[in-house]
């Protein structure tokens, strides 16, 4: 049984890690590839741009959603 709070913290820091910890490896890899890697690659193009703050807002929102999803997935 996975700890809900630990899963949420893990997934907030690295999207997908909490899902993998909770037992759904496939969902965790999906979150990691889409939410983390894709956003980091896209973020490279927004450096020194007015859209840079928009990128960070989207990144935080995805991290919060991933943490919430991991929290719901984990059974304490």
Q: Return left, alpha or beta for 23; rule: phi > 0 is left, psi -120 to 50 is alpha, else beta.
A: left
Query: What's the token pair of residue 20?
Result: 């993998």
Could you tell me the pTM of the whole model? 0.83
Domain boundaries, the chain: 4-73
What digits encode the pLDDT tens for the residues 11-39? 999 999 999 999 999 999 998 988 877 77
Q: Which residues contact 27 (CB under 8 A, 6 or more apart)?
A: 16, 19, 20, 73
Q: Which residues contact 25 (CB under 8 A, 6 or more apart)?
A: none
With b for 16 or more beta-carbon neighbours within 10 A and e for fewer, the 5-16 pattern comes to ebbbbbbbebbb
What digits encode the pLDDT tens for the residues 42-75? 777 766 667 777 778 888 898 999 999 999 999 7
């Amino acid at each position: 049984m996975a700890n809900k709070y630990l899963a949420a913290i893990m997934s907030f820091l690295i999207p997908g890690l909490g899902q993998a910890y909770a037992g759904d490896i496939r969902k965790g890899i999906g979150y990691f590839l889409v939410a983390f890697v894709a956003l980091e690659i896209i973020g490279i193009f927004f450096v020194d741009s007015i859209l840079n703050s928009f990128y960070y807002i989207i990144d935080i929102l995805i991290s919060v959603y991933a943490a919430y999803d991991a929290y719901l997935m984990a059974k304490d």
